[in-house]
Structure 1
């Protein structure tokens, strides 16, 4: 049976135009399902039904007049807690942060408001987005709808959980080391990290040039539609692209026939990959051959850039916590405090070397690689979702450092290249696997076009309500 919860953003726009459905009906349905599912998934830090319904009523009036603001008018969305929404607090997952209303919309929020979208709330994240799982001192534990005993990944934790259940069609997250793609893979949704600067950021992240903004959705077309809106310029971000984005939806057509793709199951490193994930992602990569692409197994040929990442990452954490007292730090995530203390010991010369020289060397290497291959294919993650309340799986294969199980994501924050995670099947336990597609810098439209071709060939599995396995 077709339900409101099954519709994509693209489908909602058509239904609104034909007056078969209204933004108010959609908003009420989303609010009802949030009320029903939130006790199980804990995906929101801010909700305000009155604001949501007021935005939906304003959208409905525009549609009735035949004057919508665009194709996203009336589409419900969520926004991560480290992105500004005027009138709502921005606490970045920290219980110590101010609960005062934020004074202005960040660029992505402003573009969504201008497009007439309906805000459902702000979503959960780990404290300051420092890790790839979904718990924080502020909001507690966010859970994975595919199995609520497992986590959705992070740091765009609540955004991914909402996307999986279609609690809103578009969910804006951030990605500094995989924080859009990690939860997308764990929850079976589409997660795009665009080329750096394509989506303007303000305030600027303490993670600097690592931090990207991008959407999580259930479909590639909805991702492209979101990018048409949030990818527009904003002069508050001096590093953002100043040109208008291409029409990413129109660019989805064309397929992948003739494209050259490299499949790298371990990025050339010593990575422990779960056998089921290895099989699912390999089969997904080879499916591009059925679409007319050339797929060759080849590694990109770089050493693990974890030291480059952590030099920048820990320095950013140190900056974020620079004014936190000893008493404050006692109330924070101890892992975040440890990373910040590591950053405090990094000399300025080491930080600048990582930020400029080491990043540039890896970016140059990948530019040469993409001269040979249009796209690089990898697993998004080497494992399925694991138990909540842990930074690493209990079996110990990845040690105690969460970055050990994210080796496929963070290299492409360093290079600033576009990368997308696509659902590519389920394990025997019913948990999603993710395939990552990486393009050359600025080739976001190509990444999305290939993603759309894959989705058409292998439609994604859905979950409609939180699954309780125990």
Structure 2
């Protein structure tokens, strides 16, 4: 057991609770102390509630003492991204433009965590409407990356990525529509799984939108999947109930023998791949080969037209949303987002139809490109994390999505895709490896990720708060 309880895994905590060696109360107290040490610099939390956390922990402690835990996460500290409803709490969507109203009920991921007894002690921050890969928000204080406070943690699950890397307990839930789980996971050096569409119920459902676990280890994400993947009728895209043996994720390197793995080193659109990122992913591919996998280079299947089409449709969606706001509300939206959305005002109906068509074109291309492989590995992002103050890596609202060419196709194809750390830059920044699988093979992606977790280079210590 880790003597720093905030850094202990959920698997370790649950085992210690079961054996009576630890209490959820002492764990939550240590997590809250870690949050207090880091939070002046990271600004990862929203609605942090220590009193509620300790009350939940005391109730969990009583359940464990009586031998009646609610489920596999009882007493484990957890955070939830701000755009997932938690009853009684407002949903600002990262923007100062929203009228704050308390949510009547928990959204599906929050409901599943609460049902299993997890200690939900805070929400985590996000950028305006979740449409940035950064922690910049007109509502929240700027979130930063614990590995380098001058850098962004990524987004839109910005606070969740920073919180996981900084040791705000083991369990965090984020969301992803084009890379919003994987980008912060990659830039913060943690693990995440963007599941197959509908595997984890979400409300409201939307094309390509998924919730997922954000953790330090593959094991903790697998544990969360046992809970988060339970059905919920509110998600019209929810997959049929499926008895998946999530606990069987724990495979050794031998699992990689004979697997056909595609190596994708160029996205086909957007920013060029940083040489340090390319080298780290190529080294990961060599490790797969040494473990017995058959690795074959892939040609890019995305195009700039696909990326631009998705961008333009999302611009129009946001333009319509902003036009529905009162003028004083609209003025509060982050200027970058306003400029991006308002650029769609002159788009014709035909233009939007053709833009929307690129979503399906992307789906078809991704499925075809992956068909001959069991799994595909690639960079998560082509670039290192941008300056914390920059809304996007290009800092240009007319080129806003140039960094998601590797991640967004797997939202549209509904395939599961993970991010796992595969190395570090010369400056000591983490580098994310994306592992994508065939549609519905979420467990397989976890297994390959777990095998890679055991053969990758030794991981560096997690960052410490300034002055620690």
TM-score, normalization by structure 2: 0.93
What's 1:465 paired with? 464
Deviation at 1:240, TM superposition (A): 1.4
Aligned to 1:97: 98
Which segment is superposed worse, 359-368 or 123-132?
359-368
The Cα of 1:442 is off from its aligned counterpart by 1.1
Q: Given that residues 262 and 373 in structure 1 are in contact (C-alpha distance below 8 angstroms), is that contact kept between their aligned partners in structure 2? A: yes
Q: Name the residue aligned to 1:324.
A: 325
Displacement after TM superposition at 1:384 (Å): 1.6
Q: CA–CA distance in 2 between the matches of 1:346 and 1:241? A: 35
Q: Is the 1:231–1:245 Cα contact (8 Å) retained in structure 2?
A: no
2:377 maps to which residue? 377
Report the Cα offset of residue 353 of structure 1.
5.4
Name 1:433's counterpart in structure 2.
431
* Superposed displacement of residue 270, structure 1: 6.8
1:217 corresponds to: 215
In structure 1, what is the Cα distance between the partners aligned to 2:312 and 2:208? 11
The answer as to whether partners of 2:4 and 2:30 remain within 8 angstroms in 1 is no
- For 2:266, the equivalent position in structure 1 comes to 266
Q: Is the counterpart of residue 228 in structure 1 residue 226 in structure 2?
A: yes
Alpha-carbon RMSD: 2.1
Q: 1:428/1:454 Cα in 2 relative to 1: closer, same or farther (>3 Å)?
A: same
Q: In the alignment, is residue 77 of structure 1 matched against residue 81 of structure 2? A: no
Distance, in Å, in 2 between the alignment partners of 1:216 and 1:460 is 17
Aligned to 1:368: 368
Alpha-carbon distance between aligned partners in 2 of 1:434 and 1:28, rounded to the nearest angstrom: 31
Deviation at 1:443, TM superposition (A): 1.3
Provide the C-alpha distance between the structure 2 equivalents of 1:94 and 1:322, rounded to a whole number of angstroms.
15
- Deviation track 1:347-388 (CA, whole Å, cap 9, x = no partner) reads 556555555x53333323333333311111111111222321
1:403-436 alpha-carbon deviations (Å, 9 max, x no partner):
1123211222222211111111111111111111
Q: 2:408 aligns with which of 407, 410, 413?
A: 410
CA contact (8 A) 2:420 2:433 kept: yes
**Contact persistence 2:147–2:463 (CA under 8 A):** no
Indicate the SS of the match to 2:192. Answer: strand
- In structure 1, the residue matched to 2:280 is 280
**1:100 Cα shift?**
3.3
Contiguous gaps of at least 5 residues in structure 1: none
**Could you tell me how far 1:301 is from its partner in structure 2?**
3.1
Structure 1 residues 465 and 273: alpha-carbon distance in aligned structure 2, compared to 1, 3 A threshold? same
Comparing 438-447 with 127-136, which one deviates more in the overlay?
A: 438-447
Give the Å deviation of 1:116. Answer: 0.5
Distance 2:27 2:51 in 1: 14
Instruction: Give per-residue Cα distances to partners, 1:143-196, cap 9 Å, x unaligned.
Output: 100011111011000000010012021111111111111111111001221111
Which position in structure 2 is the counterpart of 1:248? 246
What number of residue pairs does the alignment pair up? 462
Change (3 A) 1:345 1:110: farther
Displacement, 1:318? Answer: 2.9
The aligned residue for residue 139 of structure 2 is 138
2: CA distance, partners of 1:217 / 1:366:
27
Question: Do the aligned partners of residues 320 and 10 (structure 1) sit closer, same or farther apart at CA in structure 2, a change above 3 Å counting?
Answer: farther
**How many angstroms does 1:326 deviate by?**
2.5
TM-score (norm 1): 0.93
Conserved 8 A contact 1:132-1:154: yes
Deviates more, 1:41-50 or 1:359-368: 359-368
Distance 2:463 2:280 in 1: 22
* Structure 2 stretches lacking a partner, 5+ long: none
My pick for the range that moved more, 98-107 or 31-40, is 98-107
Which region of structure 1 is more displaced relative to structure 2, 304-313 or 182-191?
A: 304-313
Residue by residue, what CA displacement relative to the aligned partner does 1:313-343 show, whole Å, maximum 9, x if unpaired? 2233234324212322221111222233244
Matched ranges for 1:183-222 at <5 A: 183-204=184-205, 208-222=206-220
SS in 2 for 1:153: coil
| Post-superposition offset of 1:37 | 1.0
Task: Provide closer, same or farther for how the CA distance between residues 282 and 37 of structure 1 changes in structure 2, counting only shifts above 3 A.
Answer: same
- Name the CA shift for 1:381/1:302 in 2 (closer, same or farther; >3 Å): closer
Once residues 257 and 157 of structure 2 are traced to their aligned partners in structure 1, the CA distance between those partners, rounded to angstroms, is: 33
Distance 1:270 1:36 in 2: 38
Alignment of 1:347-358 (within 5 A): 351=352, 354-355=355-356, 357-358=357-358
**SS of residue paired to 2:261:** strand
Go from structure 1 to structure 2 and tell me whether the alpha carbon gap of 1:403 and 1:32 turns closer, same or farther (over 3 Å shift): same
Q: Is the 1:152–1:186 Cα contact (8 Å) retained in structure 2?
A: yes
Q: Which residue of 2 aligns with 1:237?
A: 235
Q: 1:399 and 1:84, CA in 2 relative to 1: closer, same or farther beyond 3 A?
A: closer
Contact 2:339/2:397 (8 A) holds in 1: no
SS of structure 2 residue aligned to 1:286: helix
Q: Paired residue for 2:417, among 416, 419, 425? A: 419
Summarize the Cα distance change of 1:301–1:406 in structure 2 as closer, same or farther, 3 Å threshold: closer
Mapped to 1, the partners of 2:53 and 2:335 lie a distance apart of 36
Deviation at 1:96, TM superposition (A): 2.7
Show CA shifts across 1:259-296 (max 9, x none). Answer: 10011111345742222111112111221112221111
Cα contact 1:300–1:366 (8 A) shared by 2: no
Determine helix, strand or coil for the equivalent of 1:403.
coil
Q: Distance in 2 between matches of 1:448 and 1:403?
A: 27
**Residue aligning to 2:117:** 116
Tell me whether 1:54 sits opposite 2:55 in the alignment.
yes
CA distance in 1, matches of 2:397, 2:316: 23
1:4 equivalenced with 2:2 (yes/no): no
339-348 or 98-107, which deviates more: 339-348
